Homo-oligomer: A and B are copies of this chain.
Amino acid sequence: MAKELKDLTKRAENYSQWYNELVVKADLAEQSAVRGCMVIKPYGYAIWEKMQQTLDKMFKQTGVQNAYFPLLIPKSFLCREAEHVEGFAKECAVVTHYRLKNDPNGNGVVVDPAARLEEELIIRPTSETIIWGTYKNWIHSYRDLPLLCNQWANVMRWEMRTRMFLRTAEFLWQEGHCAHATAEESEARTVQMINLYAEFAEKYMAMPVIKGVKTANERFAGALNTYTIEAMMQDGKALQSGTSHNLGQNFAKAFDVTFVNKDNQQEYVWANSWGVSTRLMGALIMTHSDDNGLVLPPYLAPIQVVIVPIYKNEEQLNAINEKVQPIVERFNEMGISVKYDNADNKRPGFKFADYELKGIPVRLVIGARDIENGTVEVMRRDTLEKETLPLDNIENTVNKLLGDIQNNIFQKALKLRESKTYIVDSYDEFKQRIEDGGFVLAHWDGTTETEERIKEETKATIRCIPLDGDSTPGTCIFTGKPSKQRVIFARNY
């Protein structure tokens, strides 16, 4: 059984297969009976809940309130903002009927043709349209602004090729929708939220990200500007991990949302929206995990410490139980989540493999000899290093170790990214670097045409124009035309 748990494809063999297997073997998620939709299993959901709680607190600290808007959107709403419908409306789940009836032929139930909706409803792929349709009633005066709402919700996009967490037909996310009195305020909020996402990614997920702006081609449908955070996975591919869109007055105009300003003049409202999704679970898994399974940052691990007893008889187990109980209590008091696994229906070897696979950051093993010596074996999941340490004051030792692990996996991911980031000035080298995997900093002439030709030839896209990047001008790697600054090219998830 322990062997089966460990029977995980190696990253070097097949990174993609390693990921797919790990998601299932670590009990994070699985395919459902509905094409492209996944079931998020309790262990995976517990990680997502930790992300949610952390983000929700961060949002609220900036004045954002939660609300809830309808799942279904009238078809006509999607057409109100012209660019938006081009970008979103096509691949989506369409509700056309509201009733089933018994099959006259006796084969279960069939759709009742008499219950056809006058106007079809779409399962939200994103909620700008329904929310701005609602904001029309909420916003009248500058006193009603800013309006800072977020919702935690499920959304649906009928993706053809799906992968668990990374691209699923239904996924969970949060979408913030803010309304402001001025363009400046709205831009400031757009930037504030991408900064917040970057802080969350780096501090809690231990995942280094690059903040940047999307090119016109990669922008959200209907946005003036899209900010992004881009992370590098271990295979050198990019994963877009969060976006924040400055929507200008496009949705206000489409839904006629105006306000009376302090000078008593009618103006259109300024909008932005921003979101992260269960895709972050994919990013988390691929950033840190290894050939033994999941590696979780301590801040997001549902179980931070597991304690496993090793015993030959009940007497020994009782002695260990007695010693461990007060330690468990002290962990609880410190807010460290701990599991004492003294279940006797699984062997220690099985437990070790399972907790490694599940990425529990710290494992303590206590045997009869340890009780005698006042020691405990401590293993850290990130390096798999074991040490025998005094049992005395173990909770503080572990607390410090959790901080070390959080920091270490961030540094490790950062080093990987740095080692696979290349400044490139020739198209030949560009093609090779892209083929090998990594971020390529290259000059680009600023045209969509060049961007698309490079994509066709190399499958690399412009991930972003980095905010903190070198802004020295140069010449385009593909056309030789002038370039304002280097941008980041990579293949991506």
- Could you list which residues of chain A lie within 8 angstroms of chain B, going by C-beta atoms? 30, 32-34, 37-42, 45-46, 49, 65-79, 85, 89-101, 108-109, 111, 120-123, 130, 133-134, 137, 143, 149, 153-154, 156, 158, 170, 172, 345
- When the two chains form their complex, are residues B70 and A45 in contact, meaning their CB atoms are under 8 A apart? no
Given A34-B72, A93-B121; 15 other pairs, CB 8 A cutoff: A37-B71, A39-B68, A39-B70, A39-B134, A42-B67, A75-B111, A90-B109, A94-B95, A94-B97, A94-B98, A95-B96, A95-B123, A96-B97, A98-B158, A143-B345
From B32, B69, B73, B96, give the contact of A134 (CB < 8 A).
B32
Given A42-B67, A109-B78, A170-B72, A122 and B100 touching (CB < 8 A)? yes
- When the two chains form their complex, are residues B41 and A67 in contact, meaning their CB atoms are under 8 A apart? yes
| Contacting residues, chain B, for A39 (C-beta < 8 A) | 67-70, 134
- When the two chains form their complex, are residues A34 and B70 in contact, meaning their CB atoms are under 8 A apart? yes
Given A32-B130, A172-B68, A92 and B98 touching (CB < 8 A)? yes
From B37, B49, B78, B111, give the contact of A72 (CB < 8 A).
B37
* Complex Cα gap A492–B142 (Å): 43
| Contacting residues, chain B, for A73 (C-beta < 8 A) | 34
From B70, B109, B121, B345, give the contact of A75 (CB < 8 A).
B109
* Complex Cα gap A375–B295 (Å): 57
From B71, B75, B133, give the contact of A154 (CB < 8 A).
B71
- When the two chains form their complex, are residues B98 and A93 in contact, meaning their CB atoms are under 8 A apart? yes
| Contacting residues, chain B, for A123 (C-beta < 8 A) | 71, 95, 123
Q: Is the interface of A mostly helix, strand, loop or mixed?
A: mixed
- When the two chains form their complex, are residues A70 and B134 in contact, meaning their CB atoms are under 8 A apart? no
- When the two chains form their complex, are residues A121 and B34 in contact, meaning their CB atoms are under 8 A apart? yes
* Complex Cα gap A95–B49 (Å): 29
- CB nearest to A109 among chain B residues: B89
- When the two chains form their complex, are residues A69 and B32 in contact, meaning their CB atoms are under 8 A apart? yes
8 tightest CB-CB pairs across the interface, nearest first? A79-B108, A42-B65, A37-B70, A40-B68, A94-B97, A98-B158, A96-B96, A93-B95
* Complex Cα gap A134–B130 (Å): 33
* Complex Cα gap A76–B345 (Å): 38
Q: How many copies does the complex hold?
A: 2
| Contacting residues, chain B, for A92 (C-beta < 8 A) | 98-100
- When the two chains form their complex, are residues A156 and B71 in contact, meaning their CB atoms are under 8 A apart? yes
- CB nearest to A112 among chain B residues: B90
The contact sample of 11 A-B pairs, CB cut-off 8 A, is A33-B74, A38-B70, A39-B134, A71-B154, A75-B111, A78-B108, A89-B100, A93-B98, A93-B121, A94-B111, A111-B120
* Complex Cα gap A85–B110 (Å): 12
- When the two chains form their complex, are residues A42 and B149 in contact, meaning their CB atoms are under 8 A apart? yes
| Contacting residues, chain B, for A345 (C-beta < 8 A) | 143
| Contacting residues, chain B, for A172 (C-beta < 8 A) | 68
* Complex Cα gap A37–B73 (Å): 10
Tell me how far the C-beta of A162 lies from the nearest C-beta in chain B, rounded to whole angstroms: 12
Tell me how far the C-beta of A120 lies from the nearest C-beta in chain B, rounded to whole angstroms: 6
Given A34-B74, A85-B108, A68 and B91 touching (CB < 8 A)? no
- CB nearest to A73 among chain B residues: B34
* Complex Cα gap A79–B40 (Å): 24
